[in-house]
Structure formats: C-alpha cells, structure tokens
Amino acid sequence: MDFSSRYGHIVIGLIACSLILLGKLFYIQIVDDRYKTDALNNSIVREIIYPPRGVIYDRDSSILVGNRNSFDILVTPREIRNLDSLSLCKVLKIEPEFLREKLDYYRNYRSRIGYKTLTFLSGIDEQTYVDFSETEYLFPGFHASMRTSRDYPFNAGGNLLGYVSEVNADYIKKHPEYKSGDYAGMTGLEAVKEKELRGVKGYHIYLRDSRNRVLTSYNNGEDDLMAIPGENIVTTIDADLQQYGQSLMRNKRGSIVALEPSTGEILALVTSPGIDVEDLENMGSRYQALASNPDKPLFNRPVSASYPPGSVFKLVNGLIGLQEGVCRASDMESCQQGYYYANGKKLGCHKHPSPIDYQQAIMMSCNSYFCAVFKDILENPKYANTAEAFDAWREYVLSFGLGAPLGSGIPNESAGSIPSSELYNKFYGKGHWRFSSVVSLSIGQGEIGATPLQIANLCAILANRGYYYNPHLIKGEKTEKHYCKIDSLHFIPTVDAMWKAVNCTVAEGATASLAAIDGLDVCGKTGTAENPHGADHSVFICFAPKEDPKIAVAVYIENAGFGARWACPMASLIVEQYLNKEIGTKRKWLENYVREADLMNVEK
C-alpha cells in the first residue's frame, strides 16, 4: 500500500475543506448582509408602518369614509424588563389597576402569546403619544405606534359602509396573512372590499442601544420597506341623498332604496333603525348594545329582510296577464268591495267606482280586478292543469328579479321567496289545489317574499319598460342586462296607469296623489302589505320622470298602514330631493309631516 500517496490525498482534502470553509466565512461576514443583520438582531428594532386604508367616495367624489391619524401603544410581553409601573401609568394616564390586569393576562397566557406584539392601548391622544415617545426607552417592551383610523365626514350609510376593527384569533385563523395588531373590515363595504382597501404594510429598521433607545436608522434606511396605501373606492351612493333619506326614516322601522334605472347603480340604501357613523368609530364598546337592541340596528333591511310585496305586485300579475293574452287593457271588471270565490269566500277591497278597466285598476289599486286576472292566468286552457299554469306564471315572476339574490355584492343579500307548484303539491296534495287555494298571490300576499332592493329593482324594470341591470354599489362595476319575459309594448298601459295613480285627483280614484311633483311626471304604485302579526306595512314604488327616468325608489315602512299615507310621500320626497336638489316651498309641509312622524311604537 502506497502510504505517501494516501497521505498526499488527505492533505489535499484538508486544504480543499479549509478553502471552502474560509470562502463560506468570507461570504457570510463580508458579502451577504443578511447574516450581519441576523447577528445584530439584539440591537435592531423593526417598526411596522401601517398603510392608510383606501378612501371610500360617493358618486360625486365626496368622501364617505376617509382617514385620520390614530395613536396606539403596542407591547411585546416577552421584552418587558425592569418595568417602572408608576412612571408608565403616569405618562400614559392610566390607572395602576388597569396595568396590573394587563400584566397578569400576559403572564397567564405567556406561552400562547409567545413573541407576539399586542395592542396595549388604542386611540390615545396626540399629546400622550408625544410624551410617551420621548421616554419610550425607559419602558422595554412598550412601543408607540401611529396609524390611520377611519373618519366619516357624512353621517350616511353606516350599515352599508361597515366597520373596521382589530383582528382576533378567529379572524387570523381564517385569514393567516393577518397578524395580531392588524385591522380589517368586518362588515359592509369595508369587508367586501377589504383586499383593495387594506394596502400593504411596510417597516422601518432602527439600531438601538443597551438601554433600548433608538440611535439611528439601520443601513441608512436602504432595507426599509415603504407601506403601500390601500386602493380608493368610488361608490354609486349619493351621500346627500343617503343622509336625507336617513333623516326621513328617523323614528321609523323599514327601508328606502333608490336606483338609477339606466345603470342599476344604487343611489341610496337606507335601513332604519340603523347604525350611525359614531357607532362605527366606537364599535368595540358599542357592538354588544347594538347586537342586543330589539330594533335590530345591525340588520340591513334593504337586502336582508323579506316581506310580502303587497299591492305593488299587482303590476307583475297585470303584465303577465297581458303577455299571456288572458286580459286586455280595455277589459272591464266589476268590484263590489271585494272578490268572491270558493263558495262565498271574499277577498276584500276598498270602495271605488265600478266597473273599471286595467289602468283604472292600477290607479285605484283594485283587489278584485287582479284576482280575476290571476284566476285567468291559472285557468288558461293552453295549460294542462293548474300546476303547469302556475309554473309558467312562476317563470315570469322570476324574470322580474324576484325569488333569487340580485347579485348586488352586498353581504347577506336575501333571495326572497316565490312559491313553486311543488310547495302546494306537498301542502294540498298533487292535483288537489286550484286558484282559490292561492288567491292571496293575486295581490302580493301569501307565500311571496321580496326584499326592498328587489322591490326597487321591480320599479326600475317598469321605468325601463322591461329590463334591469344588477343593482350595485361600486361605480364602474360590470353588470349584466336582464330582460323580463314581457314584451315592452305591455309596459305602455301599465306605466300610463302608474302616472295616473300619482297625477290624477283623489276624486278620480288616484291612490298616490301625495307623490305628485310639478314638472317631474312621477309614476307610482301604492301598496299595503298585510301583516298577520300586527299593523300592516306601508309600501310605495315610483320613478321619475316618466320618459328617460333618472331615479326609481322603493319605500317599505313596517307597521305604518296604508301605502298612500306614509311610504308614498316619503318616496316622492326622495325623488324631488334627488332631481331638484331641494324640496319646493309648496311641499315643505309634507317634508315636516314625514320627518316629525314617530311610527316606532305602533303595534307590530
């Protein structure tokens, strides 16, 4: 065996290993700054830069949700050393008991918290922030932080805007990209558009001495990462109209929805009782009270509540009757203050002239006329039986955007409900039900449910003479054009009748004359939705002008009785305010009448 050769190989191997090791050390210590940074970790502090959230604008570039500076004190419990409790309490203006409770919590949950940084105090005043910043080095583990918080120039749309709050453990579990101390939108537009609004966090890196005092920026700031502000959002909301609608709905329970028919843009979405922007600013302390309030201010009625549409649904049945050819606009029907069916049963109607034609029936809101129309729809001889005719009727109804969410993008949008033949087959037995079994559907009662947004969309369809765009809140959002299954020519007598309902006189039988506005050609339809649990609901839809409509409105006021009395004048005020930018002198009394009404304490 050649020992000299073997020795030579060993020597060469050792030299090679030494060269590799020296090269690696040279790279670590001289070339690659990451390892240098790691070695300096004990003297480096990284300060998070929170980006400002995107601003939310209304359709005319007024700020609905902006930002203002907010000051917090953060704490990393594992870094607390030799804490002077009394001095900390003095500079932060807090009680010693508050500090003790916090420290006890950090000790009890030490392993769970680990090296996380938590919010110790949020929303402190600017002077306290300045005072603490000057002495921060005395309190290892505690750190002053500046971020932006939400600001609300308008008290408008609290429910639709939503609120922002610090994320909790459950939120982080579902969204692991968030860390303790981060904030996120929890409801409304703030939640729906969280990805766009939140921005991207950055950080500053500083060197500190053994006493935790920040000395200088690390590496001249070259390793800092600047925060990226969130994207701005432009909504379709008219802030002034939204605010005006909220003022009209004070002390009332219900909804106002206003749409631009030609685009589907939502101009106003009012829920009452709702949450003020002051609640959004203090949601942490206000949430429990709001959630337990029996009037449900957190419930967004325009999109989540499903009600019987009442007499406004007569327009749908009338259009279906015209399309199916079972009635003509000239057809006359008698009404003896009600419709008699099924062995003397009667569905009542108010007193009005008789007989009447299609347009008069809409103008006067006659129950008997539309019971007769619905009966003819379900007994149309071209269908084999009632169930088949009913299914055809249902397809027409669904084409009006009823019975399914409208795709508005608003959280918790309800589908409403349109019954099917299967429902009645189960209830009555297949082949054992007729028109008389479902007569209440003639006038928008029974098993029909619709949201105020769907009712407003129905009004937009009438304004457009047969089509609608998905209602939406974000300006420029792509929406689909939907046609209902009714020929546009059938909308002509229907819209004419809606015009008469508003612009003819009470003596002529008009039910909505309170909605008339000089020069605006308002078209409308009253509704009184029966409520088995108490007073009836007041409903009204209208659009204006008659030609080239700019606004369609639905008002639904719970337990307020006749549609003509409360919902009708309120909707007309919304139209006038939007189109004329003010309420005319002759109608100021009506505005005061609506504003001063307290309808919250009527029988539910």
CB neighbour list of residue 86: distance below 8 Å, 6 or more residues apart: 96
Predicted local confidence at residue 28, as pLDDT: 52
Which ranges of 399-448 would DSSP assign to H, the alpha helix? 421-428
**308 and 324, same structural domain?**
yes
Residue 25 lies in a domain: no
Does any domain span residue 104?
A: yes
* Over residues 276-294, mean pLDDT: 88
**Other C-beta atoms within 10 Å of 44: how many?**
16
Residue 427 is predicted with a pLDDT of: 92
- Which one of 234, 255, 271 terminates a domain? 234
Verify that 214 and 281 share a domain, yes or no.
no
Residue 450, φ and ψ in degrees, nearest 5: -145, 145
Give the residue from 234, 257, 277 where a domain finishes: 234
Question: From residue 38, how far is each of 29, 35, 72, 245, 483 by CA, in Å?
Answer: 11, 5, 28, 59, 64
Question: Is 192 domain-assigned?
Answer: yes
> Is the pLDDT confidence value at 3 over 50?
no
Q: Are residues 143 and 247 in the same domain?
A: no
Helices in 440-517 by DSSP H: which ranges? Answer: 452-464, 491-503
The reply to whether 438 and 554 lie within a common domain is yes
Q: Which residue has the tokens 């029988």?
A: 603
Are 419 and 464 members of one domain? yes
* CATH value at residue 327: 3.40.710.10
32 located within any domain = no
Q: What are phi and psi of 359, to 5 degrees?
A: -65, -40
Taking only the tens place, the pLDDT of each residue in 77-116 is 988 988 999 999 999 999 999 999 999 999 999 888 887 7
Q: Are residues 340 and 433 in the same domain?
A: yes
CB 575 within 8 A of CB 553: yes
Contact predicate 600/578, CB 8 Å: no
Please report, for the domain that includes residue 211, its CATH number. 3.90.1310.10
Question: Which residues lie below 8 Å from residue 337, measured CB to CB, with a gap of 6+?
Answer: 348, 349, 350, 351
Counting the structural domains of the chain, the total is 2
Please report, as a single letter, which amino acid is at residue 468: Y
Confidence of residue 122 (pLDDT cuts 50, 70, 90): confident
- Sequence-distant (6+) residues with CB within 8 A of 5 are none
AA letter at 408: S
Q: What is the reported pTM?
A: 0.85
- Asked if residue 15 is part of any domain, the answer here is no
Is 5 part of a structural domain of the chain?
A: no
CB-based contact 255:272 (threshold 8 Å)? yes
Give the confidence band of 1 by pLDDT, cuts at 50, 70, 90.
very low
> Is residue 554 a contact partner of residue 452, using CB atoms and an 8 Å limit?
yes
pLDDT for 46: 75
Q: Which residues lie below 8 Å from residue 176, measured CB to CB, with a gap of 6+?
A: none
pLDDT level of residue 345 (50, 70, 90 thresholds): confident
Instruction: Judge whether 121 lies within some domain.
Output: yes
Task: Say what the pLDDT of residue 214 is.
Answer: 59
Evaluate if residue 209 carries a pLDDT over 70: no
Within its chain, how far is the Cα of 510 from the centroid?
35
Give the pLDDT confidence score for residue 357 in this predicted structure: 95
Query: Which residues, at least 6 apart from 366, have a Cβ–Cβ distance to it below 8 Å?
Result: 333, 335, 349, 352, 356, 360
User: Are 258 and 576 contacting, i.e. CB atoms less than 8 angstroms apart?
Assistant: no
Residues 261 and 224 grouped into a single domain: no
31 within some domain: no
Please indicate, yes or no, whether residues 431 and 552 belong to a single structural domain of this protein.
yes
Q: pLDDT digits over 368-413, tens only? A: 999 999 999 999 999 999 999 999 999 999 999 999 999 999 999 9
Higher pLDDT, 114 or 33: 114
Looking at the fold, whether 556 and 437 belong to one and the same domain comes out as: yes
Residue 35 has pLDDT above 50, yes or no: no
Q: How far apart are CA 338 and CA 321, in angstroms?
A: 20
- Contact in structure between 314 and 444 (CB atoms under 8 Å): yes
* pLDDT-derived band at 181, boundaries 50, 70, 90: confident
Q: Is the pLDDT of residue 232 over 90?
A: yes
Residues 516, 599: Cα–Cα separation, whole Å = 23
- Mean pLDDT across the chain: 90
Number of DSSP helices (H) and strands (E) in the chain, helices first: 23, 19
pLDDT value of position 128: 94
Judged by average pLDDT, the poorest of 57-61, 323-327, 343-347 is: 343-347
> Percent of the chain at pLDDT above 90?
69
Give the Å distances, CA to CA, from 368 to 110, 397, 509.
73, 20, 15
Shared domain check, 356 and 248: yes
Residue 39: its pLDDT value, please? Answer: 44
Which one of 1-5, 185-189, 214-218, 344-348 scores highest in mean pLDDT?
Answer: 185-189
The answer for residues whose C-beta is within 8 angstroms of residue 240's C-beta and 6 or more apart is: 62, 577
Query: Under a CB-based contact definition with an 8 Å cutoff, are residues 105 and 64 in contact?
Result: no
Q: Are residues 427 and 550 both part of a single domain?
A: yes
Ordered DSSP codes for 330-368: T--B--SSEEEETTTEEEE-----SSB-HHHHHHHT-HH
Report the C-alpha gap between 237 and 108 in whole angstroms.
48
Parent domain of 155: 45-234
Same domain, 88 and 127: yes
User: Smallest Cα–Cα separation from 273: which of 289, 255, 257?
Assistant: 255
* Phi, psi dihedral angles at 481 (to 5 degrees): -90, 125
